[in-house]
Amino acid sequence: MQRYDLISNDLCPYTQRAAIQLAEKGVPFTRTYIDLADRPDWFQQISPLGKVPVLRVGEAVVFESAVICEYIEETAPGRALHPADPLARAQQRGWIEYASAIIADVFGFYMAPDRTAFERKRGDLQARFRRLEGGLGAGPWFSGADFGLVDAAFAPIFRLFDGFDRLGDFGILDDMPKVAAYRAALAGRDSVRDAVVPDYQARFLRYLAGRGSHLAGLAAQQVAA
């Protein structure tokens, strides 16, 4: 069996996708954490874009999260996490890209420099989740009874919202019962819970507190408390 080493910082949502995927497949792997503010020389030599995640496969390297997940899906043993049907597989890949767009909007939300920008970004996120509400079926997972790679893509987003919920009620996910049920199901999945360090939320709030954004003040208060 190949030796997998997943390289990341301690907060990266994209790395969580691969960690969840490997856990779902029952594939052993190691985690190497780095500080992106002080990238070690060895990491810069193996990561052409200087970003995480990076997957070391023996002596070889795969970079970019979508490529890493597709490589794992094609080569690792265990249950397939993409549908066998080509159309269903393509549709789920599209929703994985949609999850990536939400992560970009989440970044804009917590980095918004003032209340005006913050409220605009809040509205953008709410619109994204309304579209997700319309795309979800009966559950518990995105496409029904089988947990898939698309679910691994959405799980880290809701983990971020667990942090936001400690800061206030921003109403972004209000009146979306399917999204609420999906979020709860993902939170209860072992592979999702185990994809991050045990004190992830405390680290995330400390990170937010240092952003100098509109939300940073609330995070700083929570950290101080």
CATH architecture of 86-224: Up-down Bundle (1.20)
Decide if pLDDT at 6 tops 70.
yes
Decide if pLDDT at 114 tops 70.
yes
Active site (annotated) includes residue 69: no
Percent of the chain surpassing pLDDT 70: 100
Domain ranges of the chain: 4-75, 86-224
pLDDT recorded at residue 128 = 98
Other CB atoms within 10 Å distance of the CB of residue 196: 23
The pLDDT tens digits of the residues spanning 162-205 come to 999 999 999 999 999 999 999 999 999 999 999 999 999 999 99
C-beta separation of 106 from 83 below 8 A: no
pLDDT recorded at residue 196 = 97
Active-site residue, selected from the candidate residues 6, 7, 12, 176: 12
pTM reported for the whole predicted model: 0.95
Q: How far apart are CA 136 and CA 125, in angstroms?
A: 17
Pick among 3.40.30.10, 2.40.50.180, 2.40.50.140, 3.40.50.1260: CATH of 4-75:
3.40.30.10
Q: Read off the pLDDT band of 2 (50, 70, 90).
A: confident
| Arithmetic mean of pLDDT, 34-55 | 94
Q: Regarding beta strands 60-63 and 30-33, do their DSSP bridges make them parallel or antiparallel, or are they unpaired?
A: unpaired
